[in-house]
A and B are shown apart, each in its own frame.
Chain A
Amino acid sequence: MNFLYLFVIIPLLMMGGVVLLKSDRAIKIFMLIGSGVLLAASLILLPLFFEARALDPEAAMVMRSDIMWYEALNIKLSLGIDGISVLMIILSAVIVFTGSFVSWAMTEQVKEYFLWFLLLSIGVFGFFITVDLFSMFMFYEIALIPMYLLIGLWGTGRKEYSAMKLTLMLMGGSAFLLLGILGIYFSAGINSMNILEIAQVHIPVEAQNLFFPLTFLGFGVLGALFPFHTWSPDGHASAPTAVSMLHAGVLMKLGGYGCFRVAIYLMPEGAETYTTLFLVLTGISVIYGAFGAVVQKDLKYINAYSSVSHCGLVLFAILMLNQTAMNGAILQMLSHGLMTALFFALIGSIYGRTHTRMITEMGGLMKIMPFLSVCWVIAGLASLGLPGLSGFVSEMTIFVGSFQHDDLFHRVLTIVACASIVITAVYILRVVGKILLGPVQDKHHEALTDAVWYEKIAAVTLIIGIAFIGLLPFLPSEIINDSLTAVISKL
């Protein structure tokens, strides 16, 4: 049996376990163990992948296997991975793992919460292990639906509104996406949904010009492409901590990954046609998101706008259509996934204590909760691109790669995008200065306690990931580079 099935089977088994278990505490412990197993499986996948790769160095994807689903349309469940999807699977497993830890504090309807949470992770994992358009789309939808309930039921603030908005906007995106996918399927004309097989044929340029923007937009909505990003601030602000983490950390990456794997890989000429338009939009995302974050007062809004900016950079780099920039884009996905998850975890911990997310109502937390504060500073420094942490590596790869473009316009846009490093510093330091440093704002906060074991484990795991990419960037970078060849050769 293909090892990849495990990433769907384990969460399915966990769902069964959660249904059977009685007490909340048992469910939580079971979740910790299960997510630990998932994380272990994702790490074991790495050597398995290298082994498979060594056997078949030419193939675009390894560990392939197909199951026929619907003979009449030749729809199969096709599995397969390359280095990029392995890294994405590891990222997802890390976020699910840490998300389970921070959910320890969950008290309401624990069983239902974890069931939806697991369904969401099935969608995410399924998306990364499949290589055919039909299953990808299916898993994509599986990942979207639980969001609605998770935010609407377990959220805070205007949760019904946010849940509805998020779901409708993303569904709108997937309507575009469905058109795009069907377009690809019919214009490729080989009666196959398999990406690898479609990549072998040349889709007519007119069809590419028609369907590339649809596909790109469809995934782009999830990747917070301006002006379709507004679900993100409201959605993140209302979602419970672990859902914010999973959503910003992994789900938004589905957008970037899809743009790269489906839109650009299958329709390179269509991409060429539309790069200017979309580069401008993503460039706006980068700068606009950063400026938007500068004046927000709610920690989750700040982080949401910051995500708009960082994820904008992912799409920006993908559209540069060169190897270095794309490498940077994937690194940026990993880096952003880890650090935004860390941010949301910390926001959850701080909110759980102070019962406010408004930066105007907090101050001097460094003295009260040194552990959480130091983690926050580390996340902040990663976000503003301090060398030795992951943000620097990915941003520099993107900037250097983008600047290698021979067209002056692209280089000028790159310089504009570079300016985000200054604005990022402004909003990160504003928050650090406001809530962590300075005198204690609220006397009641002085009695608060620092992080407890499950928060510490989550934060430390994420920081290890951030530092790993930051200190040893050549390891992921080489894996990605190797896997990019298939895409680059089509450009």
Chain B
Amino acid sequence: MQSYIIIISILILALPLLNFLVLGLADSRFSHKTAGTIGTFGLSIVAILSYITAFNYFFDFGKIDGVYQKFTQSVEWLRFSDTLHIDLGILLDPISVMMLVVISTVSLMVHIYSLGYMKGERGFQRYYAFLSLFTFSMLGLVVATNIFQMYIFWELVGVSSFLLIGFYYTKPSAVKAAKKAFIVTRFADLGFLIGILILSYFTNTFDFGALTDPNGSIIGNPASATFMGFSVLSWATLLIFMGGAGKSAMLPLHIWLPDAMEGPTPVSALIHAATMVVAGVYLVARLFPLYFFVTPDVLTVVAYIGAATSLFAAVVACTQTDIKRVLAFSTISQIAYMMVALGVSGFGGHDGLGYMSSMFHLFTHAFFKALLFLGAGAVIHAVHSNEMGDMGGLRKYLPITHITFLIACLSIAGIPPFSGFFSKDEILVAAFHHDKILFACQYLVAGLTAFYMFRLYFGIFWGKETHYHHTPHEGGVAMSAPLIFLGLLTLVTGFVPFHDLITTNGVSFAAHIDWAIAIPSILVGVAGIAVATVMYKKPSDIPNKVATAFNGFYVATKNKFYFDEIYLFVTKKIIFNCISTPIAWFDRHIVDGFMDFQAFWSNMLSSNIRYLQSGRVQQYVWVFTASAIVIAALVIF
């Protein structure tokens, strides 16, 4: 049983890789149609295989004696020492199987959608090749059996993201955004790498199985060494979290994500909403027992960074006017929600509610956020602009997009029976039982989320009646079908019994909706929607009045609290002007100058000395006589 599932999993990984190689090597030798068909067909098979894996795992053989097992199969790839070696393999456990489903579903939707959205674009084949590369890397990341394998695929998703953000490579802003995304996440990855080095030094293993076994020797008997007042393992997990924070755009490493919206919109849906950006959450979840048992202090840090990020991003989202940027900040905020959930989680049974709800939110969010982005893509496709100012009243022209977008908005706002309500509610419950401050913060964020999402919704589909040069229209079946499918998923995924499937220790527990928390959370969502309705459904001057009333705060928010400026200052002024330029100067003028100086004085010396050997006999005689006298004088006296 297990062996055939492993073969299926290998196929799941191999097909996108094969697609990448074929499409990448053939490039423009394939027509657009062929490339699109190959890509999409490959991905449909991957999706089907993922569903088979998930079905078999969850309902057939995954559970042994009521506990979901971890199945591992790996081969050694690179040996460092007897204990440390990088293995490549496949790990099947509830969260990795869940991720397989999420990735392959969203990726398939994006593949189909792109057939319409990217039609006729230059580099269509390259686009599909990169999508396949990304899908391969992301799938490899989630099934990693050890932390180094995860790091390998972590870097690969980073580079695929770079390639896709910079897809429109003749556009300077896209190139800049791609570079920024890569370098910021690379900086975070440095933390990840150092974390791995520290962790492996003190535990002598990379293997997730050994690292996260609650009964194993690493958790039972952790290394006791300390460094600068903290235990070394705290440093390790904190640095590893830094890597996660970079990919998942946590404060203050979030700056790359809004700019990453320069990429094609379906790419934003796949990479920068549903899959890659949740890799940080997945990383913490993967190492959760280590965080919880060995370094609970770091877990608290995770929770608070998550809370700060979610609040920050929600506030900023309220003032952005580029619809993709609103969604980008919304993504940051929602991912931070998942981080908070992990941060407040306990281990085992109902205590592990936070962990479960985090994964649950990851699951529901992936679909409704992909839906939002694809909807936004349909809007952009129709009006050729990202700015809310150029939109309004589109509900008449884009009925399918309108309805599905509304479903997604209601879901993210936490209105039942849409999926976001269920997962968000569980997170709030978990936060409430753990830390009241975090709960209050997340409760506020829930209200803000409802507000800015409906600001967006009304701004696009209602509001002022804009005059369009060309009548906007839907993008055809290829674009509408994924919207409808994801809309249906948003309606049903809330009812998936996650507490039975994905728990901290593999044992299911009973969970039910805690109405004492759910009702206030619905109310705050409704309140947010109500405020947005008043302000944005019809053109009114309330928004301007509010903006004027809080002028300083409004401007700061609109400028995303000047994080970009700070980074620009650090990179341009400090690193470029204060470190690199002086080093280059120092190297040319001091180090090399010293070498040239050696040559210079050798030259000087020899050109002075050479007069001694002039070839004139009179001079030689003169020198000889004079020296003889001097020596004689010295000897005599």
Contact = CB atoms under 8 A, between A and B. Distances in A.
A418 B193 contact: yes
Nearest to B153: A387
Interface string A156-193: 00000000110011000000000000000000000000
Contact of A392 (B155, B183, B594, B595): B155
A364 B170 contact: yes
B558 interface: no
B182 A437 contact: no
Nearest to A164: B599
Size bracket, chain A contacts: 35 or more
B193 A421 contact: yes
A401 interface: yes
A439 B170 contact: yes
A367 interface: yes
B167 to A, nearest CB: 11
A433 B175 contact: yes
Contact of A426 (B171, B183, B194): B183
A417 to B, nearest CB: 11
Contacts of A231: 595
Contacts of A399: 193, 197
Interface stretch (A32-40, A86-94, A211-219, A291-299): A291-299
Given A292-B587, A294-B576, A422-B183, A400 B197 contact: yes
B155 A403 contact: no
Given A294-B580, A421-B186, A429-B183, A473 B156 contact: no
A487 interface: no
B159 interface: yes
Interface string B138-180: 0000000000100111011001000000100111100110110
A227 B81 CA distance: 33
B550 interface: no
Contacts of B579: 291
B579 to A, nearest CB: 6
Contacts of A422: 183, 186-187, 190
A415 B166 CA distance: 31
Contact of B169 (A421, A437, A473): A437
Given A165-B595, A168-B599, A230-B587, A439 B155 contact: no
Contacts of B78: 393, 396-397, 473-474, 477
Nearest to A401: B80
B175 A411 contact: no
Contacts of A396: 78, 86, 148
A234 B194 CA distance: 35
A81 to B, nearest CB: 23
B170 A437 contact: yes
Contacts of B169: 366, 436-438
A237 B298 CA distance: 49
B606 to A, nearest CB: 14
Interface in B577-617: 579-581, 583-584, 587, 591-592, 594-596, 599
A126 B589 CA distance: 37
Secondary structure type dominating chain A contacts: helix
Given A292-B583, A386-B156, A418 B194 contact: yes
A425 interface: yes
B77 interface: yes
B194 A288 contact: no
A381 interface: yes
Contact of B197 (A388, A403, A433): A403
Interface string A235-262: 0000000000000000000000000000
Contacts of A438: 169-172, 175
Contacts of B172: 438-439
A44 interface: no
B114 to A, nearest CB: 21
Nearest to B595: A230
Interface in A426-479: 426, 429-430, 433, 436-439, 473-474, 477-478
25 contacts: A165-B595, A165-B599, A229-B591, A234-B592, A295-B584, A324-B84, A364-B170, A386-B155, A387-B155, A392-B152, A396-B78, A400-B84, A404-B81, A404-B201, A415-B194, A418-B197, A421-B189, A429-B183, A430-B179, A433-B176, A433-B179, A438-B170, A473-B77, A473-B78, A481-B79
Interface of B: 76-81, 84, 86, 148, 151-153, 155-156, 159, 166, 169-172, 175-176, 178-179, 182-183, 186-187, 189-190, 193-194, 197-198, 200-201, 575-576, 579-581, 583-584, 587, 591-592, 594-596, 599
10 closest Cβ contacts across the A-B interface? A230-B592, A387-B152, A294-B580, A437-B169, A403-B197, A295-B580, A437-B175, A425-B186, A291-B583, A473-B78
Given A397-B78, A418-B194, A433-B176, 14 more contacts: A234-B592, A291-B584, A294-B575, A364-B170, A387-B156, A396-B148, A403-B197, A418-B190, A421-B186, A422-B186, A426-B183, A433-B175, A437-B166, A474-B77
